[in-house]
Each structure stands twice: as C-alpha cells, then as structure tokens.
A = this chain, B = another copy of it.
C-alpha cells in the first residue's frame, strides 16, 4: 500500500478555479450555518439542537439510535453523546435503553422538545429558503445533490485506507 503523502516529483497543484471553488464553498457553508444559527437564536435552539430534533421527528416514535445520529449528522459519537447530555438537561430529549441491543441507547424527543421544534420550524425553513434554496435553480439544487453524493460515496469507500 503506497502512501498518499509520498513525494513524487512536482505535485499537481490546484488551478485557480479549483482552489477558488473550494474556498467559496467552505465560506458559503460557514456563513450560511452562522446565519441559520442567528435566525434560530430567538427560539432558544441552536442550529445543532435543531438538527438533532429534526432527525428525531423523522422517526414515527421520535427516537433514534446514537449510532444512527453519528452517521447521519457526521458527528463523532462522543459529540452526539455530549450534545444529547446537554439537551437532556434542558428537557428537550431523554435517553432510553434499547431492548434488542443492550449496549445501545435511544435518544427520544420529549413533548417539550417537540414544542420547541414546532415553534422554530417555520422560521427556520423560511431562512433556509431566503438565504439558500430560493436563490438557486432546480438544476443547481440537483447539481449539489449529485456532487455531494459522489464525494460521500467515495469517502465511504475509502474510510479504511487513511
């Protein structure tokens, strides 16, 4: 197995356009999530809180395994665990044990959590539209989807050979 970082002549540097595209994308993501967070601030939920609660409401029972969250959000499991602990203190979710796998744990949304996300959702969606979705053509949204899928599939396929 050969090393990615092995020096081998002059590397193929990125073109101006390639570098700029990556920079712009990173900046967009940063500013966009910052703005989404600001817009949520009145609701008492952070963007991260919102994401967790939104994940939970996707499930008919309003619960999800920690491991599943970890995959879906791309968060380390310890991050999920810490964040859930903080949300428990605020009464938004609880932990429940998993009957079929005694190692496992569910995160379950509480009534209070449900009220919080239901109150925040319309404003949040409006913000996502205003600063992102409504600025783009349908084809651009689709392009994002395709790009992200390509990149994610490749990342998953190579998660061992670091």
* Interface residue ranges, A against B (CB under 8 Å): 4-5, 7, 11-14, 17-18, 20-22, 24-35, 38-39, 42, 72-75, 121-123, 125-133, 135-136, 140-152, 154-155, 158, 162
A17 CB contact (under 8 Å) in B22, B141, B148: B141
Q: Main SS of the interface on chain A?
A: helix
Interchain CB contact under 8 A, A154 and B131: yes
Instruction: Give the number of copies in the complex.
Output: 2
A123 CB contact (under 8 Å) in B5, B22, B135, B142: B5
* Given contact pairs A74-B27, A136-B150, A155-B31, A21 touches B142 in the complex (Cβ within 8 A): yes
- Bound Cα distance A142, B25 (Å): 11
Interchain CB contact under 8 A, B143 and A147: yes
- Bound Cα distance A148, B18 (Å): 13
